[in-house]
Chains A and B, each alone.
Chain A
Amino acid sequence: MTFWQVVKKELRRMFIGEPKTALMLIGIPVVYIVLFGLVYMSNSVKYMPTVIYDQDQTQLSRNLTQAFADSERYEIIAYVNTQEEMEEYLRENKARVAVVVPPKFTHDVKVGIGSQVLVEVNGSNLMYANAVITSAQEIVQTFSAGVGRNLVEAVGQVPSEAIKKAVPIQFGVRILNNPTFAYSNFVLAGLGANGLQLGIMLALCTSLTREYSRLDEWEGVSSQRMILGKLFPYWIFGVVAFALYTAIAVNVFNIPFRGSVASLLIIGTVFTFAVVAVGSFYSAIAPDEVYAVQLPMLYIMPAFLFSGYVWPHLAMNDFSLAFSKILPLTYMADTVRDLMLNGYAPFLLHDVIMLLILGAVLLAMSTLIFSKRRRKYEHA
């Protein structure tokens, strides 16, 4: 059999013999990107249920709570009259946020003693806490500055001068690449890649293992040719799946794409190569087909969380850092996100080389193991 005959044989199996294989390879990444694109469609946490405990009940305090009501981040679900009621709302998760205005709020502000507003947030889900941190301070500060202006004017000073003296440094924040903290921009590319590697692994993992029991079909074909021919279609269709889900992410879910298509295709192609090599390694060492599909589990879930895609490398300890270095996803996910959001990935070349090395080493190992086991079975 020539290389192309092996390829054709494998293609026949993928699409006709066991069409489930092609379905997993291309379908899983695509279905994942659609499912997760839908989940994160709103992009930021909005309309957080908020309870107001206004102990002052004056025009000024109502203006302040109105500022929260006007922000799309908050949705005021109740006004309460006691501390207990407020805590009840938080405890029962009916409200995630509470805004507390102290008694004599207006009075203290007007006579120049100053007052304070307390915002409480349930931090067990960090998504809420982060949304409050980024927005509540802004609301209160803007409000405070407006009120301060009038107060200063009332004592006969020029407000802008007084403000510059008391709050001499203004603070501007500029968030690059993803200025609105859009969650789908942040997470979708990585989840797609995770789906891609799952699809490749599940489709490919049995492909070498099953041949151990039907070696007579392969007489006269070298192990190298067999492996390369069998893996080739998975690589090609893996790249197709990559292009497909990326196109969906960009066109359907509006993830920005600022990089060059060529860079994206290069990283996608070498990543697919590396994952195919990981899959072939599992496939070569697995005792039977059941093991062959279960082994990738050791890789899939940890790969996403350890890749540095969400929890950054700079916050990992040495063990986690070392582990992340052997995962193909580490070299792909961050880089793809950089290409999409920033238009430029500083480690592109390094990552491409690492993926090629990883892939080549694993492929060589699986060829060795496969031919060794093949000889053993043929002798037996």
Chain B
Amino acid sequence: MNFWHIFKRELRQLFIKDARRAFYLFGASAVYVIFFGLLYSPGVVKYVPIVVYDQDQTQLSRSLVQAFEDSERYEVIAYVTTQEEMEEYLRNKKAQAALAVPPDFSREIKQGRASQILLEANGSNIVIANAVMTSAQEIMMEFSAGIGKGLVEAIGQMPDQAMNRVAPIDFRLRVINNPTLSYLNFFVLGVAMAALQQGILLSVGGSMTRERFGELSGVHPVTVMMGKLSPYWIGGTLSYFLALLISAEVFDIPLRGSMLSLMLLGTVFSFAVAAMGSLMAAVCKDEVGFTQMSLTYTVPAFIYSGYAWPIHSMDGFSTAMSHLFPLTYIGDNVRDLMLSGHAPLLTYGIAVLGCIGLSCFMISVLIYGRRIETSQESKQAAV
């Protein structure tokens, strides 16, 4: 048997004899992209339920509340008249935020004594709390500045001038690459890569743990491994493109990077994962054991990849761990390529993935070469 025989034999197994493998290989990442694309399609958290505790009840306080009503970030669900009621809403999670306007709000401001607004937010879910933080401050500053202008004018000064003296430095924020802070752009690609990895692992694992090595006796182990892994390598790369295509075309995640860079990265990653899968399969008793192992591996690999929680903020041990997972070298790079068009660590990522792939491949060749020999010997012994 030469390379092409083994290659064709493997293709038959992949698509016909055990079609489940093809489903994992091509389906996993596509299904995940669609699934999680739908989940995160709103992009940002809007309509956070907010309760208003307006102790002033004047035109001014109502126009402040109106500013919150007008923002799509908030949905005013109730107006309450006591502190207890407000806290009840927060406690029962009917509201995630509360806006408290103090009594005499309007009068204090008009008399030039200034007043204070309190915004309370439930911080147990940071995603919601961040949405509140980003928008509330903006609404408040604008409102306050508008009122301040009027007050200063009333005492016969030029408002802009007064403003420039009191708050002389303006703060401007520019968020690049993901200006709307969209969760979809931030998260989906990484989950898709984790699913791709899982798909490749499961299909390669099925192939290696079910192989009858006796049938391959006499073939050079490198040829065997090349022939067996190539279909998964190619299939994984195709599946990678499918996932990116769906992200870009269906869910409008920007695709700003060059196709060539994306292709190189995906190809090397598929190779590394396929080779790693064959090595993992070597230490497992059967396909059941392999599946258990690879499922246990998925979540830590994702979390340690630095895709969500940056490696920069990890301690020494975690940073060291993160370098071991192939996902670390693709997640950030794919996101950078898609969102900003340039991934500074691309070459490094590709080089490391190549090294992981090659070393796993070589060890696999040694292990499975040994297995082919043993099965050959036992066959001869039987004869």
Chain A interfacial positions (CB closer than 8 Å to B): 20, 24, 28, 32, 35-36, 38-42, 44-49, 64, 90-94, 109, 112-130, 132-134, 136-137, 140-141, 143-145, 147-148, 151-152, 155, 161-179, 181, 183, 185-186, 191, 194-195, 198, 202, 206, 289-290, 292-294, 296-297, 300-302, 305-306, 309-312, 314-317, 319-320, 334, 337-338, 341-342, 344, 346-347
Contact = CB atoms under 8 A, between A and B. Distances in A.
Contact of B112 (A137, A165, A294, A309): A165
A178 B124 contact: yes
B354 to A, nearest CB: 21
B165 A112 contact: yes
A169 B291 contact: no
22 contacts: A32-B299, A93-B336, A114-B167, A119-B173, A130-B134, A134-B130, A136-B173, A141-B171, A143-B169, A152-B165, A164-B114, A165-B148, A165-B162, A171-B137, A176-B90, A176-B123, A183-B309, A290-B206, A292-B288, A301-B191, A310-B125, A314-B128
B171 A136 contact: yes
Interface of B: 20, 32, 35-36, 38-42, 44-49, 64, 90-93, 96, 109, 112-130, 133-134, 136-137, 140-141, 143-145, 147-148, 151-152, 155, 160-179, 181, 183, 185-186, 191, 194-195, 198, 202, 206, 287-289, 291-292, 295-296, 298-300, 303-304, 308-310, 312-315, 317-318, 321, 332, 335-336, 339-340, 342, 344-345
**Which residue of A64, A300, A311 has the most chain B CB atoms within 10 A of its CB atom?**
A311
Contacts of A314: 45, 47-49, 96, 128
Contacts of B172: 116-119
A116 B170 contact: yes
B179 A116 contact: no
Nearest to B48: A314
Given A198-B296, A297-B198, A165 B42 contact: no
B342 to A, nearest CB: 6
Given A115-B168, A186-B124, A301-B32, 8 more contacts: A64-B169, A120-B173, A125-B186, A130-B134, A130-B181, A133-B130, A173-B118, A314-B48
Contacts of B296: 24, 28, 198, 202
Contacts of A161: 112
Given A92-B344, A311-B183, A171 B116 contact: yes
A136 B173 CA distance: 9
B295 A202 contact: yes
Contact of B151 (A120, A151, A168, A320): A168
Given A41-B315, A176-B120, A317-B42, A126 B183 contact: yes
A316 B332 CA distance: 25
A296 B109 CA distance: 60
A181 B126 contact: yes
Contacts of A129: 175, 178, 181
A45 to B, nearest CB: 5
B299 A166 contact: no
Contacts of B291: 290, 293-294
Chain B interface main SS type? helix
A342 B298 CA distance: 31
Contacts of B169: 64, 109, 114-117, 140, 143-144, 147
A181 B342 CA distance: 31
B139 to A, nearest CB: 9
Contacts of A39: 303-304, 309, 314, 318
Contact of B288 (A28, A206, A337): A206
Contacts of A93: 336, 344-345
Given A134-B133, A173-B119, A173-B136, A312 B127 contact: yes
Given A147-B168, A173-B121, A176-B121, A195 B179 contact: no
Contact of A130 (B118, B130, B143): B130
B42 A315 contact: yes
Given A117-B172, A126-B181, A171 B119 contact: yes
A82 to B, nearest CB: 18
Contacts, number: 348
A296 to B, nearest CB: 7
Contacts of A24: 292, 296
Contact of A169 (B42, B114, B161): B114
Contacts of A47: 312
Contact of A311 (B127, B289, B332): B127
B315 A311 contact: no
Contacts of A164: 112-114
B288 A133 contact: no
B119 A114 contact: no
B152 A166 contact: yes
A310 B91 CA distance: 19
Contacts of B121: 173-176
Contacts of B39: 305-306, 311, 316, 320
Given A42-B315, A296-B295, A113 B164 contact: yes
A179 B198 contact: no
Contacts of A140: 169, 171
Nearest to B120: A174
Contact of A40 (B151, B309, B339, B340): B309
A242 to B, nearest CB: 17
A178 B129 contact: yes
A44 B313 CA distance: 8
B133 A169 contact: no
A195 B136 CA distance: 36
A-B pairs, top 7 by smallest CB distance, nearest first, are: A114-B164, A123-B178, A166-B166, A116-B170, A164-B114, A178-B123, A144-B169
A169 B91 CA distance: 27
A179 B173 contact: no
Contact of B177 (A41, A42, A94, A122): A122
Contact of A123 (B49, B129, B179, B345): B179
Contact of B309 (A127, A292, A338): A127
Contact of A168 (B44, B115, B304, B336): B115
B125 A312 contact: yes
B127 to A, nearest CB: 6
A168 B106 CA distance: 10
B290 to A, nearest CB: 9
Contacts of B137: 137, 171, 173
Contacts of B123: 175-179, 181
A152 to B, nearest CB: 5
